[in-house]
Amino acid sequence: MRAGALVAAAGGFEANIEWLKEYWGPPAENFLIRGTPYNRGTLLRMLLDNGVQEVGDPTQCHAVAIDARAPRFDGGIITRLDCVVFGMVVNKLAERFYDEGEDFWPKRYAIWGRLVAHQPDQIAYIVFDSKSLTSFMPSLYPPIRSDTPEGLAEALGLDPQRFRATLDGFNGAIVPGGSFDHTVLDDCRTEGLTPPKSHWARPIDTAPYYAYPVRPGITFTYLGVKVTKEARMLMADGRPAANMFAAGEIMSGNVLGRGYAAGIGMTIGSVFGKTAGEGAARRARN
Ligand SMILES: Cc1cc2nc3c(=O)[nH]c(=O)nc-3n(C[C@H](O)[C@H](O)[C@H](O)COP(=O)(O)OP(=O)(O)OC[C@H]3O[C@@H](n4cnc5c(N)ncnc54)[C@H](O)[C@@H]3O)c2cc1C
């Protein structure tokens, strides 16, 4: 049977660790893939190798911090961790590496996968205390818990003295008198600390102490096939393909250069899915 038209909607190459390693090197071995293991970029590769134009930075992807205990693939939404703004985040050297309170979480959650990817062994720990335990949607896995900061460090495999020093430095840098409100860019911040915590900074001082280990959770990659606004694939000679269309992750690089805003993934899939489907149906009918 010969098809009158093709709509490519087979995802990115996020589940293809070898392909990710071409751009990320060995750290990609420690990436967890949030969705299906079948999005290996097989169709994307086939199209690019057969004269369809490429679009998007191959190193760019949607990557969030997910529970390090999640399975390699398909951990889904229940392993995502949204408690960064309530605590401090340290790497395996017990050092902070980014402003946990830079901006509202929906604007910042998708940078934390990349941030963790650049840390030693691609692991980090979100640390908070009993004041924050019920303030966010938890992971499927329970947080690691201890009655003392040193005990928590030991449970995480961190150097207790270094962890204590980082924690004391963080707590000591918090400007007193702030009014905590995680629904606004509040005035709870640090001073003289590098990196700072710009909002929602409260001392982590009320036992029990908790932490979630996190790793980069790759949602989808941005490298894709170039399309026209009619979702028609663009060929190497600059002409649109007569009967080949694309939608979703496989062409997300047309929309996403760097960064992300919540909801864009499904928007790209649905808007271009409708456009590509209509175009393909018209083509097949004629
Ligand atoms: C855990 C998680 C949470 C998300 N949360 C959000 C969110 O809150 N908001 C948002 O906007 N987006 C979210 N996204 C992103 C969004 O789900 C995707 O961008 C969207 O589903 C992509 O649609 P798609 O059709 O391009 O790819 P997919 O839905 O991944 O479908 C691709 C399909 O192609 C199949 N396939 C791949 N290769 C082959 C092959 N060679 N042969 C046959 N079949 C193949 C795969 O099995 C898969 O079923 C989330 C994604 C994940 C994984």
Residue in 219, 256, 264, 274 to alter for ligand 1 test, most ligand atoms within 8 A of Cβ: 219
Ligand 1 within 6 A of 50 CB? Answer: no
Distance CA 81, CA 128 (A): 13
Cα 69 to ligand 1 centroid, rounded to whole Å: 22
- Asked whether residue 258 carries a pLDDT value surpassing 90, the answer given is no
Q: Is 219 in the pocket of ligand 1 (CB under 6 A)?
A: yes
Of 79-83, 158-162, 262-266, the range with the highest mean pLDDT is 158-162
- Transcribe the chain into DSSP letters: ---S-EEE----STT-HHHHHHHH-GGGGG-EESS-TT-S-HHHHHHHHTTBPEES-TT-EEEEEEETTS-SB---GGGB---GGGSEEEETTS-B-S-TTSS-HHHHGGGHHHHHHTSGGG-EEEEEEGGGTTSSPPPSSPPEEESSHHHHHHHHT--HHHHHHHHHHHHHTBPTT----TTS--S--BSS-SS---SS-----SSSEEEEEEEEEEEEE--EE-B-TT-EEEBTTSPEEEEEEE-GGGGGGGT-SS---TTHHHHHHHHHHHHHHHHHHHHHH-
Q: What is the pLDDT of residue 260?
A: 86
Nearest CA to ligand 1 atom 51: 219
Q: What is the pLDDT of residue 179?
A: 96
Residue 117 has pLDDT above 90, yes or no: yes
153 alpha carbon – ligand 1 mean position (Å) = 37
Mean pLDDT over the full length of the chain:
96
pLDDT of 1 strictly over 90: no
Q: How far is the CA of 219 from the centre of ligand 1 (A)?
A: 8
pLDDT tens digits, 139-191 = 999 999 999 999 999 999 999 999 999 999 999 999 999 999 999 999 999 99
pLDDT at 262 over 90: no
Q: Please tell me the distance between residue 258's alpha carbon and the centre of ligand 1 in angstroms.
A: 19
Strand partners, 125: 90, 213
Nearest residue to 252 via CA among 44, 110, 77, 45: 44
Condensed to tens digits (0 to 9), the pLDDT of residues 194-228 reads 999 999 999 999 999 999 999 999 999 999 999 99
pLDDT (average), residues 45-59 = 97
**pLDDT tens string 6-21:** 999 999 999 999 999 9
Residue-level pLDDT at 73: 98
- Cα separation of 168 and 166, whole Å? 6
Residue-level pLDDT at 259: 82
Domain boundaries 65-216, corresponding CATH code: 3.90.700.10
Q: Please give, one letter per residue, the 3-state secondary structure of 138-150.
A: CCCCCCEEECCHH
pLDDT score of 98 = 98
**ipTM of the shown complex:** 0.98
* Mean pLDDT confidence for 74-84: 94
Of the options 3.40.50.261, 3.50.50.60, 3.40.30.10, 3.40.50.2300, the CATH number for the domain spanning 6-31+38-58+224-285: 3.50.50.60
If pLDDT is split at 50, 70 and 90, which confidence band does 193 have? very high
Distance 279 CA to ligand 1 centre (A): 21
Q: Where are the domains of the chain?
A: 6-31+38-58+224-285, 65-216
CA angle 21/22/27 to nearest 5° reads: 30
pLDDT band at 111 (very low <50, low <70, confident <90, very high): very high
The crossing angle, in degrees rounded to 10, of helices 149-156 and 160-172 is 130
> Would you state the pLDDT for residue 15?
98
Does the pLDDT of residue 107 top 90, yes or no?
A: no
Instruction: For ligand 1, say whether the CB of 96 is within 6 Å of any of its atoms.
Output: no
Give the model's pLDDT for residue 108: 87
Question: What percent of the chain lies above the pLDDT cut of 90?
Answer: 93
